[in-house]
Amino acid sequence: MKKILVTGANGQLGSELKELSSHYSQLEWVFADRSLLDLSDLESISNVLDQIQPQIILNCAGYTAVDKAELETELADILNHQAVAVIAQWTATHDCRLVHISTDYVFDGSSSTPLIEEAVTGPINAYGQTKLAGERACMHENPNAIIIRTSWVYSQFGANFVKTMCQLLQERDRLNVVNDQIGSPTYAADLAETILKIITHSHWQAGIYHYSNEGEISWYEFALAIQEIGGFDCQIIGIPSADYPTPARRPKYSLLDKSKIATTFGVVVPGYRESLERCMAVLNREP
């Protein structure tokens, strides 16, 4: 029985993997939060991995507070880059497979066509810079790793755009949402299923892959879809990013091309609307 270690167990993706794990009883699961595996303590990582002895690591942990990363760049670099290097090095020397989660923020947002895996990177904020450094360290230490870049992640778990919008659309009469950042959201449950498909696939194909749901929308259009599905009565106004300044700059365009992951592993990528409806149905069932 293969032992799977999931880091970032309490995050959106880690939580969705935990939900699905019961359907994969042929695998032995270890879900590690910060109390079991503290990635900010670089010296301890290898020792903990030695104790667990996983055959596959799904590295879903990381520093994800994009705006805060502008101030806490050192901590973001430890979690998103240096810890990844240590994990990748351990997996390379222990015949352990590694799936590492990265982000669309490794790109500068200047493209106007869906981004393929080989597209030129150029992060425009500290978060993206630390994640790109993590990707490079991962592939340097373990060329047999799989990296999955994803975007605009939401879920029934944790804090995210969908849950925030559902709350604000009930509380307010009008809401401003940025309309000039283009991409596609990712339902973490879909990404979790994709990861499980990859690690149980007959063929392991190392490299970088892109995954999000299908569709090309702005945050404003995403908010409109949430409003329509939820039946909320609130006026949503599209505004330019310039009218909503944030400490960290966001890429204007970060739509990911998913054809490589679909072709390599036979992954079917759902449309964003279908996945959003499924997530909101789950949220509505919660007490």
**pLDDT tens digit string along 231-247?**
999 999 999 999 999 99
Whole-model pTM: value is 0.96
Q: State in Å, rounded, how far the first CA of the chain is from the last one.
A: 36
Give the chain's mean pLDDT: 97
Q: Is residue 243 part of a domain?
A: no
Q: Is residue 29 part of a domain?
A: yes
Q: Is residue 279 part of a domain?
A: no
Q: What is the mean pLDDT of residues 252-273?
A: 97
Q: Is residue 276 part of a domain?
A: no
pLDDT exceeds cutoff 60 at 287: no
What is the rounded distance in angstroms from the CA atom of residue 228 to the CA atom of residue 218? 15
DSSP state of 39: T
Q: Is residue 227 part of a domain?
A: no
pLDDT exceeds cutoff 60 at 164: yes
**pLDDT tens digit string along 7-26?**
999 999 999 999 999 999 89
Confidence at residue 56, expressed as pLDDT on a 0 to 100 scale: 98
What is the rounded distance in angstroms from the CA atom of residue 231 to the CA atom of residue 30? 39
pLDDT exceeds cutoff 90 at 1: no
**% residues pLDDT > 90 (the chain):** 98
Confidence at residue 285, expressed as pLDDT on a 0 to 100 scale: 86
Q: CA nearest 134: which of 188, 186, 59?
A: 59
Q: CA nearest 210: which of 136, 273, 260?
A: 260
> Which domain covers residue 29, as residue numbers?
2-159+186-214+255-270
The alpha carbon of 240 is separated from its chain's Cα centroid by a whole number of angstroms, namely: 25
Given the residues 24, 63, 105, 127, select the one marked as catalytic. 127
SS3 73: helix
The alpha carbon of 4 is separated from its chain's Cα centroid by a whole number of angstroms, namely: 18
Q: Is residue 286 part of a domain?
A: no
Q: How many domains does the structure of the chain reveal?
A: 1
**pLDDT tens digit string along 60-102?**
999 999 999 999 999 999 999 999 999 999 999 999 999 999 9
CATH of the domain at 259: 3.40.50.720
**pLDDT tens digit string along 104-119?**
999 999 999 999 999 9
Q: CA nearest 2: which of 266, 146, 201, 211?
A: 201
Contacts of 6 (CB under 8 A, 6+ apart): 14, 17, 18, 29, 30, 31, 32, 58, 60
What is the rounded distance in angstroms from the CA atom of residue 114 to the CA atom of residue 254? 7
What is the rounded distance in angstroms from the CA atom of residue 102 to the CA atom of residue 240? 26
Q: Is residue 138 part of a domain?
A: yes
Q: Is 272 an active-site residue?
A: no
Q: Is residue 83 part of a domain?
A: yes
pLDDT exceeds cutoff 70 at 163: yes
Q: What is the mean pLDDT of residues 37-48?
A: 97
Q: What is the mean pLDDT of residues 247-276?
A: 97
Q: What is the mean pLDDT of residues 188-201?
A: 96
Q: What is the mean pLDDT of residues 187-202?
A: 96
Confidence at residue 286, expressed as pLDDT on a 0 to 100 scale: 64
